[in-house]
Amino acid sequence: MRVVTCLLQEHDLWFVLLSVLMCGVGAAVSTTLFQRTLNEQGSSRLLWCFLSAVTAGASTWATHFIAMLGYRTHVAVSFDGGLTLVSALVAIGGIGAGLLIATSPRRRLASVAGGGTIGLAIAAMHYIGMFAYHVDGIVTWRPAYVLASLLLVCGLGVLLVDSLRRRRRWEDRLVPGVLLAAAIVVLHFTGMAAFSVTPIAGAPASANAQALSGLAIAIAVVGLLLLGMGISTYLVEAGARSFSRKQLAHIAMHDSLTDLANRHHFSTTLDEQCAALGRNGRPFALLMVDLDRFKPVNDTLGHPTGDAVLRLVAKRLQLAVRKSDLVARIGGDEFAIIAFDLSSLAQAEAIAGRVVEILSRPFLVGGNMAELGGSVGMVLAPGQGLTGEELVQHADIALYAAKRAGKNRYCVFEPEMMEAMQRRRHLEVELRRACMREDFTVVYQPIVDSQNGTVTGAEALLRWTCPGRGEVSPAEFIPIAEDLGLVSRIGASVLRQACEEAASWSAPLDISVNVSPVQLLDPRLPQVVAQALAESGLSPERLELEITETALFGDDEAALRTLTLLRELGVRISLDDFGTGYSSLSYLHRFPITRIKIDQSFVRRLPEDPGSASIVRAIAQLGESLELQITAEGIETSEQLSFVALHGCNHAQGYLISRPIKAGEFAEFIRTGAASLAA
Amino acid sequence: MLNRLLYTSRCAFSSTGDALVSDVRELARLSAERNAKAQLTGALIHVRGSFVQVLEGPPAALEQTFERICCDFRHDEMKLVDVAPIQSRAFAGWELALLSAEQETALSLREDLDEIRFLIGINAREAISLMRRVLREQAAVA
Of B63, B71, B80, the CB nearest to A319: B71
What is the structure's pLDDT at A254? 93
| C-alpha to C-alpha distance for A99 and A50, rounded to whole angstroms | 9
Q: pLDDT tens for residues A302-360?
A: 999 999 999 999 999 999 999 999 999 999 999 999 999 988 899 999 999 999 999 99
Report the pLDDT averaged over residues B112-136: 87
A375: number of Cβ within 10 Å: 26
Chain A residue numbers with beta carbons less than 8 Å from the beta carbon of B76 are 357
Of A319, A357, A369, the CB nearest to B83: A369
Classify residue A506 by its DSSP letter: S
Kindly list the distances between the CA atom of residue A595 and the CA atoms of A443, A622, A630, in Å, as whole numbers in the listed order. 22, 11, 6
Closest residue, chain B, to A363 (C-alpha): B67
The answer to whether B72 faces chain A, any CB pair under 8 Å, is no
Of B5, B63, B73, the CB nearest to A365: B63
Largest CA distance in chain B: 40
Strand A595-598 with A629-632, pairing: parallel
A509: number of Cβ within 10 Å: 19
Q: pLDDT tens for residues A443-501?
A: 999 999 998 888 999 999 999 998 888 899 988 898 889 888 888 889 999 999 999 99
What is the structure's pLDDT at A169? 62
The answer to whether B40 faces chain A, any CB pair under 8 Å, is no
| C-alpha to C-alpha distance for A27 and A180, rounded to whole angstroms | 6
Distance of CA B69 to the CA centre of its chain: 12
Compute φ and ψ for B48, nearest 5 degrees: 50, 50
ipTM metric:
0.92
The number of folded domains in chain B is 1
Chain B residue numbers with beta carbons less than 8 Å from the beta carbon of A361 are 70, 78
Compute φ and ψ for A344, nearest 5 degrees: -160, 165
| Low-confidence stretches of chain A (pLDDT beneath 50) | 675-679
Closest residue, chain B, to A368 (C-alpha): B83
Look at residue B75 and give its three-state secondary structure.
Answer: strand
Query: A358 with B71: CB under 8 angstroms?
Result: yes
Q: Do A362 and B78 touch (CB under 8 A)?
A: yes
Nearest to A154 by CA among A129, A128, A130, A190: A190
The CATH number linked to B96 is 3.30.70.100
Q: Could you tell me the residue range of the domain that residue B33 belongs to?
A: 2-141
Query: A452 with A676: CB under 8 angstroms?
Result: yes
Nearest to A545 by CA among A588, A509, A515: A515
Kindly list the distances between the CA atom of residue A366 and the CA atoms of A105, A302, A545, B58, B64, in Å, as whole numbers in the listed order. 60, 11, 46, 12, 10
Kindly list the distances between the CA atom of residue B21 and the CA atoms of A32, A177, B103, B105, in Å, as whole numbers in the listed order. 68, 73, 7, 12
Classify residue A171 by its DSSP letter: G
Of A354, A362, A369, the CB nearest to B73: A354
| C-alpha to C-alpha distance for A332 and A299, rounded to whole angstroms | 13
Chain A residue numbers with beta carbons less than 8 Å from the beta carbon of B70 are 316, 358, 361-363
Calculated CA dihedral for residues A338, A343, A349, A352, nearest 10 degrees? -20
Q: Do B7 and A312 touch (CB under 8 A)?
A: no
What is the structure's pLDDT at A679? 37
Look at residue A283 and give its three-state secondary structure.
Answer: coil
Strand A410-412 with A441-449, pairing: unpaired
Nearest-10 crossing angle of helices A13-39, A143-165: 40
Q: Shortest Cα distance from A360 to chain B (angstroms)?
A: 8
Query: A129 with A89: CB under 8 angstroms?
Result: no
Q: Cβ contacts of residue A188 below 8 Å, gap of 6+? A: A19, A63, A64, A67, A126
Classify residue B73 by its DSSP letter: T
Classify residue A447 by its DSSP letter: E
Chain A residue numbers with beta carbons less than 8 Å from the beta carbon of B59 are 367
The answer to whether B107 faces chain A, any CB pair under 8 Å, is no
| C-alpha to C-alpha distance for A550 and B142, rounded to whole angstroms | 56
The secondary structure of A524-572 as a DSSP string is THHHHHHHHHHHHT--GGGEEEEEEHHHHHSSHHHHHHHHHHHHHHT-E
Chain B residue numbers with beta carbons less than 8 Å from the beta carbon of A358 are 70-71, 73
Question: String of b and e for A119-136 (b: at least 16 CB within 10 Å)?
Answer: bbbbbbbbbbbbebbebb
What is the structure's pLDDT at A214? 78
